[in-house]
Amino acid sequence: MCSLGLEKQLDRRPHQLSGGQRQRIAIARGLINDPSVLLVDEPTSALDEDRSREIVGLLAELSRDRNVATVMVTHDLSQLILVDRAYGMRSGALLPTYSRLSTPAS
């Protein structure tokens, strides 16, 4: 909980937490058993832009630091900037891969 910035929230009830804090708790619950793969479905759907960036950055950091493969489902294409590899789907078919290494430099 401390690595997720939640140490001051340990005594609070769920209804007393912000959306971002609740998302971090959900991530902590997913990491508690030290998984090799973390599956997250729309982790930022109910959050504002700043909290969304914070949560996706946190997922990327945890994935790197804990060597956990993270599979994230999202409709927010702005989050692709933080990932190493992304796959798209259309009508149930997998689309070509996006890789940070293959994108043009800005």
Q: What is the pLDDT along the chain (106 residues), one digit of tens a residue?
A: 455 566 666 667 778 887 777 877 787 788 788 899 988 888 888 778 887 888 888 888 888 888 888 888 888 888 777 777 888 888 989 887 766 645 444 4
Does a structural domain hold residue 8?
Answer: yes
Q: Which positions ≥6 away from 45 have C-beta within 8 Å? A: none
Inter-residue contact 100 to 65 (CB < 8 Å): no
Does a structural domain hold residue 11?
Answer: yes
What domain range includes position 55? 2-74
In CATH, what number is assigned to the domain containing residue 6?
A: 3.40.50.300
Does a structural domain hold residue 70?
Answer: yes
Tally of domains in the chain: 1
